[in-house]
Structures are given as C-alpha cells and as structure tokens.
C-alpha cells in the first residue's frame, strides 16, 4: 500500500462539476492499493496517517498529529501510485489491486480514520476527479508498506 500525504490548509474533490467533498486544515491522502495488500498494511498506513507528527506546535516544530490538532482528512483512491514506468513509456499498473479489492480497502481506510474521531471524507471511487488543494508548507510525505515490512 502506498500513500502520499500532503498537509493542507484546505482540499476538495469535484466530479462532473459537482463538489463531492471538502475539508479545511488537515491532510489530503492519495491512497494506492496493491494486489497483495491486506488489513495489516491498511491498519499500518491508517495509524501512521492519524499519528504522523507533521503539524507545528507553538514553537514551530513539527510535533503534532491530526489527533492532536483536530484536523481533517480527505482520502482519494489513486491506483496510479502503482504505475511502473521502468520499461517503455506507458506505465504498467499490474501491481495495483483489482477495483473490487481496492475499493473495499479504501472504504475500510476511511472507516479507521473516522473511528479515531478524525473528520474524514473521500472522493468517488473510480470516478474522474478534480482534486484541489492548498498545500501547507509544503509538507508531502510518502508512505509505502513495501519498504516497512
């Protein structure tokens, strides 16, 4: 599982010209699910997102998490995080999970954040989305369970 986490002042998702979700301060999470991911990887990434100390404290140090700040999360499924560009010019997505598997884990990811009392919204799975954000910092973190386990 891969996640690109961006600290944001605000973020939103629009589909077909309609606003479907938006948050204020918090994180935008682009979530990629691999074909062999399980709830083990899911729980690891979700807990990392909730507890990452990427928000500044009163001294200006990155010491606070979403749980500490009461920030929100906007989670967008993004299979292209598993695009393999090592051969040729067109990415291969062979390592990305099948849609039915990816959607289940994506929904569970959102549920885990909500269970931790993090205000969480999502995009629309498999939709062509317009994602807008105001990056705060910028702060962008990459999590990859292939490098963790």
- Positions marked catalytic: 78-80
- φ and ψ at residue 21, rounded to 5 degrees: -165, 150
Rg over CA atoms, the chain: 15
13 contact partners, CB below 8 Å, separation of at least 6: 19, 20, 21, 22, 74, 76, 121, 122, 123, 124, 129, 130, 131, 132
Question: What token pair was written down for 31?
Answer: 């979530």
């Amino acid at each position: 599982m891969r996640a690109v986490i961006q600290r944001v002042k605000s973020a939103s998702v629009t589909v077909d010209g309609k606003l479907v979700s938006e948050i204020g301060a918090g994180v935008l999470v682009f979530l990629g699910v691999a074909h062999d991911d399980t709830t083990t990887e899911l729980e690891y990434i979700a807990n990392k997102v909730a507890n990452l100390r990427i928000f500044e404290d009163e001294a200006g140090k990155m010491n606070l998490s979403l749980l500490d700040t009461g920030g929100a999360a906007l989670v967008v499924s993004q299979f292209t995080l598993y695009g393999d560009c090592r051969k040729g010019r067109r990415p291969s997505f062979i390592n990305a999970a099948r849609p039915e598997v990816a959607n289940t884990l994506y929904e569970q990811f959102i549920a885990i954040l909500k269970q931790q009392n993090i205000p969480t919204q999502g995009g629309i799975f498999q939709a062509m989305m317009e994602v807008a954000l105001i990056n705060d910092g910028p702060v962008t973190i990459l999590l990859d369970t292939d490098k963790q386990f």
